[in-house]
A and B are shown apart, each in its own frame.
Chain A
Amino acid sequence: MALPQTKLDATEARIAVLDMPRGGWSTTARTAALARLREMGLPGRRDEYWRFTRPDTLVQPEPPAAALFDPRETAAFDAIDKLKIVFVDGVFDAEASDDLTLEGVTIERLAEASSDLHWAASLYGQLEIRGQAAVPRPLAALNTAFATDGLLIHVTGKPSKPISISYRHASETSDAILHHVVKVDAGAEATILENGPAAARFNKCMEVDVADGAKLHHVRTQGRDHERRAATHVFARLGAESVFKSFTLTANGALTRNEVVIELTGDDALVHVAGACVGDGDFLHDDTVFITHDAVNCESRQVFKKVLRNGATGVFQGKILVKAGAQKTDGYQISQSLLLDEDSQFLAKPELEIYADDVACSHGSTSGAIDEEALFYLRSRGVPEPQAVNLLTLAFLAEAVAEIEDERLAEEITTRIEEWLIRHRS
């Protein structure tokens, strides 16, 4: 079907300002991705999965400027022992980064990995293509075609500390496109941390291949700058008895669209995807999650909680697809919002599509205000109202934070939420 002219024009206008890195093993995948992008066209307001979130600013050739904001807090995961890798406005910062060597993992930069037979060639853009099957994700195709850098992380053992990627934002008009590929070998286990506002506009893609019996933990914070915009994708494929747990905290940001596309391809695999977001004012946060069960006895959990105030908007589009033959599937999905005033809104579209007959799938979505009874109870014990509201807000988010396995990381996230709540006290 031919694309409408406006969509065609918007897509070509965006492509015109981008340069595709040439040469090396990724060229084939990049060229194919560009062709894919031209076929799909960039997202428009009438597209099925963009009805709640206006894609305009993510699509337009130049990003709207985003002022830098200093909340006077230390960077996330500061106190955690980690291998630190830093990108500033999408550009690798060698001086701020640690040496990329760590036992149990090899880490290379996409921009530097030029050998013709690279392991990442079998994954780069390949998991993204699989994720395009049911729903077009044009911003991910754009990313595969035009990513300027990223990390190729091959986990072969059990690295002693997390691999941390920090995205710093230094220019008010930066437009960054990064693409990571993560391959976790059978039986291997690693933790990847991500934090920072990244750029005025950030397009990030992470393809994750978790082999049989492997484990990957992923914890990220997207925060700080109020005017930044981001569209991120995680494409993950899970082998038998593997585990993938991903948690995201989003605070601030004019627009954040986080898409997570998971394929459970081996029996007895487990995936938990969770998110907590806190938004005040000009803030739109969109979680779009698509989990496909294509093996027996797998478990998937989606836990998303959003706290919204002063006209902030939360969006959740979550789907569990259980293919024929994926018996004994255990699928769970919950999306909830806490609306701190009448100007804020939460738009949710939970979906279940099930073709197997022996499965347990449940989903729920709620929107509510602070529980007045609980608030009065706390106040009657002497807790001042703003502090009581914060306590109840933290309690609301606790179910999502509890999805983080590592207690130190969970504490770190809780502290950041507390700091945000204190800064944004009414």
Chain B
Amino acid sequence: MLEIKNLHVSLETEDKQILKGVDLTVEAGKVHAIMGPNGSGKSTLSYVLSGRDGYAVTEGSATLEGADLLDMEPEERAAAGLFLAFQYPVEIPGVGNMTFLRTALNAQRKARGQDEMNATEFLKLIRAKAKELNIDADMLKRPVNVGFSGGEKKRNEILQMAMLEPKMCILDETDSGLDVDAMKLVADGVNALRDGGRGFLVITHYQRLLDHIKPDLVHIMADGRIIKTGGADLALEVEQHGYAHLLEEVA
């Protein structure tokens, strides 16, 4: 599904290397988690994959089902099936949540040569998905993320994911700023999307989220590289001992 090879990335504006050779393959149907201390490059990886400006890839590659991601515009990556749930979802005053989602959904369908979804079909679909995530009609009508609480913003990200049905989902610290109940709601939303064909990359600081979203593999990232890979137990080890001893171990 997602294949990252020897990825080197630096900031465009200053000569600072952030990713120093990341290798990672996420197979269809699997959930991979990336953990790591602050500044290890986790979020940069998610930005580079989704096509945010400001980063320069100096070496390596990233492909989605064989297609070169790094050569595509952000909207093309989305249409190809990549989705990033933002750590800080953006507020867009003046654009209704519903309008936003319908525009996005139909733009992707159009890019893939599919028919646009009509208003009635769309309404039926979004109402059903919103209900599962405990998102009320008012939240759908309001401008995108404006005045939403932290939990509401994250639920709105998962709603978008559920509506757009991407092949590869990247969740960037989706657990940050969530209380236990909200985290459970978000995790349930993600678990509902798990199937044999969809890949997940879950970026998190804490093991807590991984209690609810069981990963197949856990990677530890430090200083721009993946330094260790293991099963779900690796997350528990981090929780108990912190990153320090892992860093020493590989040093």
Contact = CB atoms under 8 A, between A and B. Distances in A.
Interface of A: 371-374, 376-385, 387-388, 391-392, 394-396, 398-399
Contacts of A376: 52-53, 74, 90
Contacts of B160: 381
Contacts of B100: 378, 381, 391
B138 to A, nearest CB: 18
Interface string B234-250: 00000000000000000
Q: Which residue of A383, A385, A394 has the most chain B CB atoms within 10 A of its CB atom?
A: A383
Given A384-B75, A385-B73, A385-B75, A378 B104 contact: yes
Interface string B53-97: 100000000000000000001110111000010100111111100
B231 to A, nearest CB: 31
B90 A382 contact: no
B7 to A, nearest CB: 19
B149 interface: no
Nearest to B79: A382
Given A382-B79, A384-B75, A377 B107 contact: no
7 contacts: A373-B90, A374-B91, A376-B74, A379-B75, A379-B78, A380-B74, A391-B95
Contact of A399 (B52, B94, B164): B94
Contacts, number: 76
Interface string B217-245: 00000000000000000000000000000
A382 B78 contact: yes
Most chain B CB neighbours (cut-off 10 Å) among A372, A373, A376: A376
B73 A379 contact: yes
B108 interface: yes
- Residue with the greatest number of chain B CB neighbours at <10 A, chosen from A372, A374, A379, A392: A379
A383 B100 CA distance: 9
A158 B73 CA distance: 55
A387 B92 contact: no
Contact of B94 (A382, A385, A388, A394): A394
Contacts of B108: 382
